[in-house]
């Protein structure tokens, strides 16, 4: 067997992952993706193991609902054939392996730094000297934006090559938000420290990342979740989806100078996040989700509050979106702006909402269901134009879809009011020499956390992959041949995470 097949949120012994020679590892993983759009690489990383580098590659199959894992051990000064030469979906993973370990990939199409991490192999590479692709021309000019941006937004640098107003090329340089999260997961050993860290990976996806973390810790600890915990976590994820999509629609209206849309959608976000505050004391749901127990069980009282809030929210939200979609001035900014074709999205391994904007069906809620998603007949919302308007439509429809799911779940809620548990585990004992992977569908797309334990049951490696890891390249490609003045609205329509990428 050249790979082991596991499920989402399953832990397996590390030695059950077949160790292949690099040529076979290369052939297997690149051919798995060839002509199979339903397969995508969810995690591919390396770590130091007895003076060598062990590479682990996980390819998910959305139709078969499983994940194929294989590994290979290479020398730290290796020069290897690049998977990306055959399939671009691997390109950023290999850039990260190169940045962390110095492994060379001579035929990699674009071996550039990823995030200037603290533990990068070549410390002489510094963020000031990023090797931008540049053009020497009398007719073209370069525009540099960032790291500090005009609004209240995270830092990142965008280097455009423009011909007058038209963008020919955009290169996005990240790394400014790097805080050393993956190393901190190993250094901070208390469960509560790791939980707070998981909540802080990307604060706007606190539910998505903390849920992935919680399921991962529980599968390594051999714990199962009771129905109420699964329900709470799934409900929280959908509320987060509604809250962020509403906020982003407000931001998209700001970027096309539609003041009414911006104000109304901005204020519509408030009751949703205030509900999180009712539930757990925090507007972005930090503190709501914990590994091993459910600190804030949902109850009938909260269900009534939530129903009232959704009853007031939904008609106002629908009304504002109807106004927005009837307005020729906003439509002309949204339609055919920042378009990407299906083949482009597939070739670079886009995930989540950015993939669904042009018919690439990637949604962990149906492909690798967890929580109580398997009880809902979830149909991902797919659009077919791949432009800003497709994303606006997806956001609006996902909000309405999430509201429908929540209403259904609330109507089926059990009668009993569970009180908060009086005791909770402060540690989770993890099985030694194990590997586990946990995928969740955050509002941007698929979040992946992977971990390996050592023979003492302590964390040896903790790997995080935010959906933005894949999708930043989609943004860079989508602005080509658009006007530079359309860049803000294209950027906001994606709304990717800088800190989730930089860790």
Partner 1 sequence: MYHQGKQFIPDLRNANVPGIFTGRPEISSEKVDEKALVDCCPTGAINSGPESIDLGKCTFCRECERLFPGKVHFTTDYRLATNERIRLIIKEGLSVPITLNPDLIRKEIHKLFKGSLKLRQVSAGGDNSCELELNACGNVNFDMGRYGIEFVASPRHADGIVITGPVSKNMAEPLQITYDAIPTPKIIILVGTDAISGGIFEGSPAIDRKFIEKNHIDLYVPGNPVHPLTFINGVIDLLGI
Chain residues that interact with partner 1, rule: CB under 8 A: 116-118, 127-128, 147-148, 150-155, 175-180, 183-184, 187-188, 190, 192-193, 195-197, 200-204, 206, 247, 260, 263-264, 266-267, 269-270, 274-275, 277-284, 286-287, 295, 316, 319-320, 323, 424, 426, 497-499, 502
Q: What CA dihedral angle connects 265, 268, 274 and 279, to 10 degrees?
A: -110
CB of 21 to partner 1, least distance (A): 35
* Short-list 289, 258, 287, 283, CA closest to 271: 283
Task: Give the nearer residue to partner 1 in terms of CB position, either 317 or 435.
Answer: 317
Burial of 420 (0-12, 13-18, 19+ CB in 10 A): exposed
Q: Contact, 447 vs 206, CB < 8 A?
A: no
Burial of 148 (0-12, 13-18, 19+ CB in 10 A): exposed
CA 81, CA 100: separation in Å to the nearest integer?
17
DSSP assignment, residue 384? Answer: B
Task: Give the nearer residue to partner 1 in terms of CB position, either 134 or 193.
Answer: 193
Q: Which residues contact 137 (CB under 8 A, 6 or more apart)?
A: none
Task: Give the nearer residue to partner 1 in terms of CB position, either 78 or 274.
Answer: 274
CB of 282 to partner 1, least distance (A): 6
CB of 189 to partner 1, least distance (A): 11
CB of 103 to partner 1, least distance (A): 22
CA 113, CA 277: separation in Å to the nearest integer?
39
Task: Give the nearer residue to partner 1 in terms of CB position, either 85 or 196.
Answer: 196
Task: Give the nearer residue to partner 1 in terms of CB position, either 263 or 347.
Answer: 263
- Say whether 206 sits in a helix, a strand or coil: helix
Q: Which helix (H) or strand (E) holds 457?
A: none
Task: Give the nearer residue to partner 1 in terms of CB position, either 312 or 429.
Answer: 312
CA 388, CA 337: separation in Å to the nearest integer?
6
Task: Give the nearer residue to partner 1 in terms of CB position, either 90 or 176.
Answer: 176
E strand map for 254-340 = none
CB of 335 to partner 1, least distance (A): 24
* Short-list 171, 72, 153, 154, CA closest to 113: 171
Q: Which helix (H) or strand (E) holds 435?
A: strand 434-441
* Backbone φ, ψ for residue 47 (5° rounding): -150, 160
CB of 304 to partner 1, least distance (A): 14
Cross-strand partners of 190: none
CB of 275 to partner 1, least distance (A): 8
* Short-list 414, 359, 416, CA closest to 386: 359
DSSP assignment, residue 418? Answer: P
Task: Give the nearer residue to partner 1 in terms of CB position, either 203 or 457.
Answer: 203
Q: Which helix (H) or strand (E) holds 159?
A: strand 157-163
CB of 219 to partner 1, least distance (A): 22
CB of 300 to partner 1, least distance (A): 16
CB of 256 to partner 1, least distance (A): 17
Q: What is the token pair recorded at 77? A: 């000064």
Q: What is the token pair recorded at 286? A: 């930090």
Task: Give the nearer residue to partner 1 in terms of CB position, either 323 or 375.
Answer: 323
CA 418, CA 438: separation in Å to the nearest integer?
28
CB of 82 to partner 1, least distance (A): 26
Q: Is 476 left (phi over 0), alpha (psi -120 to 50) or beta?
A: alpha
CB of 283 to partner 1, least distance (A): 7
Task: Give the nearer residue to partner 1 in terms of CB position, either 69 or 320.
Answer: 320
Task: Give the nearer residue to partner 1 in terms of CB position, either 212 or 284.
Answer: 284
CA 404, CA 45: separation in Å to the nearest integer?
38
Q: Which residues contact 364 (CB under 8 A, 6 or more apart)?
A: 8, 370, 439, 440, 441, 446
> Dihedral sign, CA of 215, 440, 174, 485?
negative
Task: Give the nearer residue to partner 1 in terms of CB position, either 265 or 437.
Answer: 265
């Amino acid at each position: 067997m050249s790979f082991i097949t596991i499920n989402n949120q399953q832990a397996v012994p590390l030695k059950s992952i077949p160790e292949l020679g690099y040529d076979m590892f290369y052939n297997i993983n690149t051919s798995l993706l060839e002509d199979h759009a339903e397969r995508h690489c969810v995690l591919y990383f390396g770590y130091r193991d007895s003076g060598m580098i062990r590479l682990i590659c996980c390819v998910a199959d959305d139709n078969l609902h499983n994940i194929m894992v294989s590994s290979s051990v290479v020398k730290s000064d290796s020069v290897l054939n690049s998977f990306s030469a055959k399939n671009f979906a691997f390109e950023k993973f290999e850039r990260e392996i190169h940045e962390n370990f110095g492994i060379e990939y001579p035929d990699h199409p674009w071996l550039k730094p990823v995030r200037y991490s603290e533990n990068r192999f070549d410390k002489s590479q510094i963020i000031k000297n990023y090797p931008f692709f540049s053009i020497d021309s009398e007719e073209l000019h370069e525009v540099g934006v960032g790291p500090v941006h005009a609004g209240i937004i995270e830092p990142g640098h965008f280097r455009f090559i423009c011909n007058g107003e038209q963008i020919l090329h955009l290169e996005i340089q990240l790394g400014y938000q790097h805080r050393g999260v993956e190393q901190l997961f190993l250094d901070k050993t208390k469960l509560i420290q790791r939980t707070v860290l998981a909540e802080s990976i990307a604060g706007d996806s606190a539910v998505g990342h903390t849920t992935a973390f919680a399921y991962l810790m529980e599968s390594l600890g051999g714990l199962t979740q009771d129905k109420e915990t699964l329900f709470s976590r799934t409900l929280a994820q959908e509320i987060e989806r509604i809250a962020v999509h509403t906020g982003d629609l407000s931001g998209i209206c700001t970027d096309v100078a539609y003041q009414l849309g911006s104000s109304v959608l901005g204020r519509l976000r408030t009751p949703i996040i205030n509900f999180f505050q009712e539930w757990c004391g925090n507007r972005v749901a930090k503190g709501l989700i914990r590994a091993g127990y459910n600190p804030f069980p949902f109850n009938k009282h909260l269900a009534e509050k939530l129903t009232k809030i959704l009853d007031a929210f939904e008609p106002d939200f629908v009304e504002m979106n109807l106004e927005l979609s009837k307005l020729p001035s906003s439509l002309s900014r949204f339609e055919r702006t920042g378009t990407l074709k299906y083949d482009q999205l597939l070739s670079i391994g886009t995930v989540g909402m950015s993939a669904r904007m042009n018919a690439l069906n990637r949604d962990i809620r149906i492909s690798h269901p967890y929580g109580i998603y398997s009880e809902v007949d979830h149909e991902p919302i797919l659009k077919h134009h791949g432009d800003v308007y497709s994303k606006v439509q997806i956001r609006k429809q996902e909000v309405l879809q999430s509201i429908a799911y929540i209403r259904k779940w609330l109507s089926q809620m059990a009668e009993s009011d569970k009180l908060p548990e009086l005791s909770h585990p402060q540690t989770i004992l993890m099985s030694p020499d194990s590997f586990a992977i946990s995928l969740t569908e955050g509002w941007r797309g698929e979040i992946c956390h992977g971990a390996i334990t050592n023979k003492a049951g302590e964390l040896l490696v903790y790997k995080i992959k935010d959906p933005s890891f894949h999708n930043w390249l989609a943004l860079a490609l989508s602005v080509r041949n658009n006007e530079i003045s359309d860049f803000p609205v294209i950027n906001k329509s994606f709304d990717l995470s800088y800190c989730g990428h930089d860790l």
